[in-house]
Amino acid sequence: MSDASESRSAYTVRLELVDEPGELLRALAPIADNGGNLLSIFHERGSLTPRGHIPVEVDLEATPERFETIVSALREAGVNVIRAGAERYGEELSVVLVGDLVETDLSDTLSRVEQANAAVADVALSAPAGTDEPSSARLRLATETGQRERALDTVRELADEKDLHLVEPLAGGDR
């Protein structure tokens, strides 16, 4: 008997790992534990992400339901999932933050955005030298379909906590 939802698909999951022993194994465990079939692992040990982490690309096979469970399990295990299957990120949004971005730990800001199921697709920073002007950053975030507001809420909370001025996109996207 075959059920369409039981058919397996191939997925690519891009992870960010802290450079510590055992991290890769820890990241892979939730995949096997939840019925995913590992196809390949590309461990870019030489290169670092802007946050100083090591990017790892994992190809795996799973049913769509199991794949959802795997991604959730990875996140619950504290593994930073930046991108999981191109089709997962259906929405994009840009925000601009103004304030003391360096003092308030930009990398912490970015990683906390990513913990809210949003991938930071692009960061542009402007810190005019020799002026008293605060620095600014433009973030382009990719979120799962329907998760836009949730990602934005996280950015709002962060901006509030770090006293950053947030320029939001329009509700519902560009008009």
Partner 1 sequence: MKLAVVGCGAVGRAVCELAGSYGHRVTAIADSTSAAVDEGGLDVETVLDRKAERGTVGSGDREHALAGEYDVLVEATPTTLGDAEPGFFHAERALARDAHVVLANKGPVAERYGDLRAAERDSAGTVLFEATVGGAIPILSTIADLGPEDVTAVRGILNGTANFVLSRMSAEGLDYEHVLAEAQDLGVAETDPTFDVEGTDAALKCVILANVLGDGDVTLDDAQVEGITRLTPSALDLASEDGRTVRLVGEVTDGEDPTVRVGPRLVPEHGTLAVTGTQNIVQLETRHAGQLNLSGRGAGGRATASAVLADVGRLP
Catalog residues that contact partner 1 under the rule CB under 8 A.
94-96, 98-99, 124, 126-128, 133-138, 140, 165-171, 174-175
Q: Rounded CA gap, 39 and 21, in Å?
A: 22
* Closer to partner 1 by Cβ: residue 4 or 129: 129
* Closer to partner 1 by Cβ: residue 27 or 95: 95
What is the nearest approach in angstroms of partner 1 to the Cβ of residue 94?
A: 6
Q: Rounded CA gap, 94 and 92, in Å?
A: 7
What is the nearest approach in angstroms of partner 1 to the Cβ of residue 76?
A: 32
What is the nearest approach in angstroms of partner 1 to the Cβ of residue 169?
A: 5
* Closer to partner 1 by Cβ: residue 7 or 175: 175
What is the nearest approach in angstroms of partner 1 to the Cβ of residue 146?
A: 17
Q: Are 34 and 76 in contact (CB under 8 A)?
A: no
- What's the chain's Rg over C-alpha atoms? 18
165 burial type by CB count under 10 A (0-12 exposed, 13-18 middle, 19+ buried): exposed
Give exposure, 74-108, as e/b (b: 16+ Cβ within 10 Å).
bbeeebbbbbbbeebbebbbebbbbbebeebebee
What is the nearest approach in angstroms of partner 1 to the Cβ of residue 43?
A: 33
Phi and psi, residue 90, nearest 5°: -90, -15
* Closer to partner 1 by Cβ: residue 69 or 94: 94
* Closer to partner 1 by Cβ: residue 72 or 94: 94
